[in-house]
Chain A
Amino acid sequence: MMAMDTKAAIVGIGESRVGKVPDRSALQLQADAAQAALADAGLAMADIDGLLTTPVRVEHWNMPAGVVAHHLGIRPAYLSTVDLAGASGAAMIHQAAMAIASGQCTTVLCVAGQNLLSHGSRSTAVRKMAEGGSAHPQFEVPYGPLVPSLYALVAQRHMHEYGTTPEQLAEVAVTIRRHAGLNPNAHKRDPVSVADVLSSKMITSPLHILDCAIVSDGAAAAIVTSAARARDLRGKPAHLLGQGYGLRHSHIGDTSLTTTGAVDSGRDAFRTAGLSPADVDVAQIYDCFTITVIVELEDLGFCRKGEGGAFVEGGRIGLGGQLPVTTHGGLLSGGHPGLGGGFFHVLEGVRQVRGDAGARQVPGAKVALVHGNGGVISVHCTLLLGSEAAA
């Protein structure tokens, strides 16, 4: 790998209101998040010379980065639209770091989100997702899978090979909902029990509705600059310590289902950071479905393949546990506005290493892992964020 100095830091983060926000368009939500991130960093819009964003689903934007730059009134020296589906949020941070390291720009605004819930009905969103490319248009869509069905195939196979149980899947939803209850901006905050998950509507076996991500309005933003410049800014920075990408397939119909490119993204992230899973204090794991968390914990090396079901039991992934996971409430409960959904995991990783996570702060957290997953356990991006710059 090229020995580029990608030492960068996140110096400001911001969120729009998340949940049902019918009074804001996609661009307004993104502008809300951007302004909050600038305020957090003590910067002005005029300081931004780089812009990264993702596509949206609710409307067609020709060149999304251009549309967002125009709306915000900035003329960036570098701009790009990142589309690694659910891995886009994590990837934007690393791609901002590369743009800064190359000298093309100094201060990058990364922003993503949309009014996925309010733009149409929940049913419309479900249908658009089912036909939106996660399933192969010729060889999968005609058989009628939901997006959750594609992950259900993963869950069913994982249960068959490793004895993973519906109760273990439910434990993920219960824990992450409890975390959302501590996040004032989370979409769904009322606690649920394992029994609630198991008695909730079966969508596509073995996944119940509470095993599935919600659909939300919302946007998130982060500002990335060089670690050197971060020292002169008022906020406490979160340093990018390492990153990795992985892709082993595009569609899951022709795969083994239970091992993912997170093996590769995690290995590279730990190698570039010079860290190991034992060094991680808190993990913001992509949680589009409960099974996703179990498979990713295995593939990232927090437990062995097949042991993810047992790993999530007994409070191990809750606050106060061995490895608190997705402490803001994630996509299962915090909010899921589409491609921007995974970006909230980045923001929570930043809060945790800055010590700003309030009631859900992991005491003394120095290293946060952030993991994004796009497609159907297809494309992965893993980040390691630290309270201190890499040596």
Chain B
Amino acid sequence: MSAPQKPQAGPDGGAPAAGVPERPLPVPDAATAPYWEAARAHRLVMPKCVDCGAFHFYPRTLCPHCSSARLEWTACSGRGEVYSFTVVHRAPSPAFAADVPYVVATVKLAEGPHLMTRITGCAPEAVRIGMAVRVAFIEASAEITLPVFAPAEEA
């Protein structure tokens, strides 16, 4: 399984193992904190416009479709499909070196928006565009939980 399941913090939320470089983690800001708070609670939320009803991602403070500032964090089903993917064989930095090969993908959510993520829970060579996936959550540190996606079980 790939990287986010080997969090830089120990399983008990303790200090990173000696010698393992820190991986870059999101630093939530005022506009994005609700997304990361929801992820910690194992919920996937997306900004949705109260006025035009459209979802968008990544989070903005104005709706990119109609410029309304009336946005609402809305729970998503967590279901989607692989829109594109790449198997990374050369880590961008030592922090990711233990993870290779790993799958970076964009997923098209059932609600419409696309997002970047990892595909976990299957061999990298098994990943296909169009594959049904559902969200899973990996505790990367005491503060940050990353949404990742795994193959959806058959309905």
Contacts and interface: CB of A to CB of B under 8 A. Distances in A.
B16 to A, nearest CB: 15
A137 B116 contact: no
A378 to B, nearest CB: 13
A159 to B, nearest CB: 9
A130 B116 contact: no
B18 interface: no
A251 interface: yes
A142 B23 contact: yes
Contact of A137 (B27, B85, B87, B114): B27
A145 interface: yes
Interface in B106-136: 106, 113-118, 129
Interface centre among A127, A143, A152, A205 (most CB of B within 10 A): A143
Interface string A195-208: 00000011111110
A254 B113 contact: yes
Nearest to A254: B114
B5 to A, nearest CB: 13
A26 B82 CA distance: 42
A140 interface: yes
Given A149-B88, A157-B84, A157-B129, A142 B93 contact: no
Interface string A231-259: 00000000000000000000111110100
A166 B57 CA distance: 31
A163 to B, nearest CB: 13
Contacts of B85: 153, 156
B17 interface: no
A201 B114 contact: no
Interface band, chain B: 35 or more
A330 B8 CA distance: 39
B118 to A, nearest CB: 5
Given A126-B92, A144-B92, A254 B58 contact: yes
28 contacts: A126-B92, A131-B24, A135-B116, A137-B27, A138-B27, A138-B29, A139-B57, A141-B26, A144-B3, A144-B23, A144-B92, A145-B92, A149-B86, A149-B104, A153-B105, A153-B106, A160-B84, A160-B129, A201-B89, A203-B89, A206-B86, A207-B86, A252-B106, A253-B115, A254-B56, A254-B58, A254-B106, A257-B84
Top 4 nearest A-B pairs (CB, nearest first) are A130-B92, A253-B116, A152-B86, A138-B26
Interface of B: 3-4, 23-29, 32, 56-58, 83-93, 96, 99, 102, 104-106, 113-118, 129, 140, 144, 146, 148
